[in-house]
């Protein structure tokens, strides 16, 4: 699986949009971008994933650049409960047995 690069930490004011970047310049054509987050002392939680089109669900939006070498996770209205470590993971097609390999992620602090 391709490697990803994320900033170690970010701050965001409560109520504002949180934009979390991820670089994956070596991504190959059959690799998807997944985002998970881990709130302190809990297991990771799936947020969203995509291949090349932008995706949106009830939690977040995922914007993937046209060349697919980077992406941005957007939390439109961050709340204090969104404080967590956010992981960007690139892996081969969703179906199959490839396990998720977590990097260091970005520690997002939402500030009141």
Partner 1 sequence: SQTIHQWPATLVQPVGSPLSLECTVEGTSNPNLYWYRQAAGRGLQLLFYSVGIGQISSEVPQNLSASRPQDRQFILSSKKLLLSDSGFYLCAWGDTGSGANVLTFGAGSRLTVL
Name the residues that contact partner 1, by CB under 8 A: 36, 38, 41-46, 49, 94-97, 99-105
Among 61, 38, 39, smallest CA distance to 48 is for 61
Q: 65 to each of 46, 68, 83, 99, how far by Cα in Å?
A: 21, 5, 25, 25
Task: Please say which residue, 53 or 95, places its beta carbon nearer to partner 1.
Answer: 95
Task: Please say which residue, 21 or 44, places its beta carbon nearer to partner 1.
Answer: 44
**Cα dihedral across residues 85, 9, 76, 26: positive or negative:** negative
Minimum distance from residue 15 beta carbon to partner 1 (Å): 28
Task: Please say which residue, 45 or 79, places its beta carbon nearer to partner 1.
Answer: 45
């Amino acid at each position: 699986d391709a490697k990803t690069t994320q900033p170690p930490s970010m701050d965001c004011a409560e109520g504002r949009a949180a934009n979390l970047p991820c670089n994956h310049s070596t991504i190959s054509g059959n690799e998807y971008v997944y985002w998970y987050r881990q709130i302190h002392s809990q297991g990771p939680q799936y947020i969203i994933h995509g291949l090349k089109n932008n995706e949106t669900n009830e939690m977040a939006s995922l914007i993937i650049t046209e060349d697919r070498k980077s992406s941005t996770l957007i939390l439109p209205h961050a709340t204090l409960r969104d404080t967590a470590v956010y992981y960007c993971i690139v892996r081969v097609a969703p179906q199959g047995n490839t396990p998720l390999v977590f990097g260091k992620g970005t520690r997002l602090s939402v500030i009141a």
